[in-house]
Structure 1
Amino acid sequence: MIQKDYIMRMIEQLSVVLTKILFNKETKNYTQALLEIDSAYENLLGFDPDYIKAMSEGEILGMLESNGSIDAEKPIIIAELLREEAEIKELKNGLNDNVLYIFLKSFYIYVEVIIYDSRYKQKEYLKKLDKIVEKIIQYELPNQIQFKLFQYYEIIGCFGKAEDILYELIDLKYPNILFECKSFYLRLLNKSDEELLNGNLPRNEVNEGLDHIDKMSIESADKTNTK
């Protein structure tokens, strides 16, 4: 009960902050909007905003991890604040490299939280992710973001797009990618035919993909053994 009250309190406080940020964005008071974000890092999370901004997405999640688990409320707040910061700076300066980097950090953390805690697989967050994806797919993305994009497409049921990214990552020799591919296809076998068709990856193509990955795994193992 105490934990639930704590979560509700954080969500309510974040909602107040986001309302203030939105007001300042709409009135083009971008400097004040950014100050509201900095205050939120300090008041909601107890973090120095400059410290968070200097950290990578992986470092942020690692900092919030305790005994192998993450309190999902803090990273979702960070993802929200990063997204708001990126949107404000885009309004001021356009989608430059710095703004893109902030969007990527936000995207990575959003996806990680949704995978970890299904409570956040809500339209509210998925709509925000959709908007970020529209921006970032125009660019050549780092491999770890590509992998998060694959996970995002699987989350929203776009299985054909998810598969396309996996094969790009195979070409890039992304770590453990054959295992990830096989796990993906095995998860899809538990979906209904309707879900697979809606995701643009019918069951026969899932089975073909699984066979193909099995063959690739055998070939990869043979090459390793002959070295």
Structure 2
Amino acid sequence: MFRKDYLLRMMEEMTEAIGKAFTLRQQRKHTEALSELDELLRRQFGMNLSLLNSLPAEDVIEMFRFRGVIEVDNLQQAARLIEEEAYIYGEKARVEGIDDQEKQDSEDEGLIRLMKSLHFYLYALNHGANPKLLDAPERVQSILEQTKEYELPARTEKQLALYQEQHGRYDLAENSWYRVLRVGEGQLVNYREDVKAFYERLSKLEDGQLEQGGLPRQEVEEGLAELIR
């Protein structure tokens, strides 16, 4: 009960802060809008936006570990703040009168933050976060639509593959895993064992489940054979 009340109180504060930030964004008071989000992040988690955006995603996730467990509902709230920050930068890029370089810089900053928020949403959902708390699945789909022209980092594409598998979309998961292999080629992390484990998990499912997920058994076997070759 205490934890539920705690989360509800945090959600109320977040809703209020994002509402204020949205109004300020509409008024093109971008600095004030960012300050509103930053203050909420400091108050709730003892962090700031600069810290969250300067650290690798994995390090930020570790900052939400408490007594050995990642507090994924808190993580998805941080994802929501970073998502809103991305929209502020996007709005800033559309302001008339700024030069092309400043416009490009704002667009880039917005895109980086949007992808980071996607990573946190996916990680949180893959590890048991409440999907109704922030309508995270809908937010994931929205961000994927906004970033479809860009290549996701391998670590984020991996979380997307796991997310698609978790929801029975095996064909989309397979597509993500092969993008992981392509993007991750030459990196220190070797994702081949992850992809192999994906096919091995699918091989244990019933034919009907595989068919429903868009990846018949024959394609699973062919995919694993191709990976081994």
User: How would you bin the TM-score normalised by the shorter chain?
Assistant: 0.7 to 0.9
Indicate yes or no: 2:113 matched with 1:99: no
Q: How many residues align?
A: 215
Indicate yes or no: 2:220 matched with 1:206: yes
Counterpart for residue 112 of structure 1: 123
- Secondary structure in 1 matching 2:47: coil
Counterpart for residue 225 of structure 1: none
Say if 1:103 and 1:132, in contact at 8 Å, map to a contact too.
Answer: yes
Q: Which TM-score applies when normalising by structure 2?
A: 0.78
Say if 1:196 and 1:203, in contact at 8 Å, map to a contact too.
Answer: yes
Question: How far is the alpha carbon of 1:112 from its aligned partner?
Answer: 0.9
Letter in 1 for 2:214: N
Encode CA deviations 1:37-93: one digit per residue, 9 max, x unaligned.
112112222223333332221221122223431112321111000000001111211
Match of 1:137 among 148, 161, 181: 148
Counterpart for residue 191 of structure 2: 177
Say if 2:39 and 2:48, in contact at 8 Å, map to a contact too.
Answer: no
Say if 1:41 and 1:48, in contact at 8 Å, map to a contact too.
Answer: yes
Q: Which 5+ residue runs of structure 1 have no aligned equivalent?
A: 220-227
Counterpart for residue 39 of structure 1: 39
In structure 2, C-alpha distance between the alignment counterparts of 1:190 and 1:126, rounded to whole Å: 27
Question: How far is the alpha carbon of 1:115 from its aligned partner?
Answer: 0.9
Letter in 2 for 1:169: V
Q: Which 5+ residue runs of structure 2 have no aligned equivalent?
A: 95-105
Counterpart for residue 69 of structure 1: 69
In structure 2, C-alpha distance between the alignment counterparts of 1:12 and 1:103, rounded to whole Å: 23
Question: How far is the alpha carbon of 1:110 from its aligned partner?
Answer: 1.0
In structure 2, C-alpha distance between the alignment counterparts of 1:154 and 1:27, rounded to whole Å: 42
- Secondary structure in 2 matching 1:119: coil
In structure 1, C-alpha distance between the alignment counterparts of 2:66 and 2:134, rounded to whole Å: 28
Counterpart for residue 80 of structure 2: 80
In structure 2, C-alpha distance between the alignment counterparts of 1:205 and 1:28, rounded to whole Å: 51
- Cα 1:210–1:123 change in 2 (3 A) is farther
Match of 1:188 among 197, 202, 205: 202
- Compute the RMSD of aligned alpha carbons: 2.8
Q: Which TM-score applies when normalising by structure 1?
A: 0.78
Letter in 1 for 2:70: I
Encode CA deviations 1:156-183: one digit per residue, 9 max, x unaligned.
4432222123224335266342321232
- Cα 1:158–1:87 change in 2 (3 A) is farther
In structure 1, C-alpha distance between the alignment counterparts of 2:81 and 2:134, rounded to whole Å: 18
Counterpart for residue 3 of structure 1: 3
Question: How far is the alpha carbon of 1:33 from its aligned partner?
Answer: 2.3
In structure 2, C-alpha distance between the alignment counterparts of 1:76 and 1:82, rounded to whole Å: 10
- Cα 1:93–1:157 change in 2 (3 A) is farther
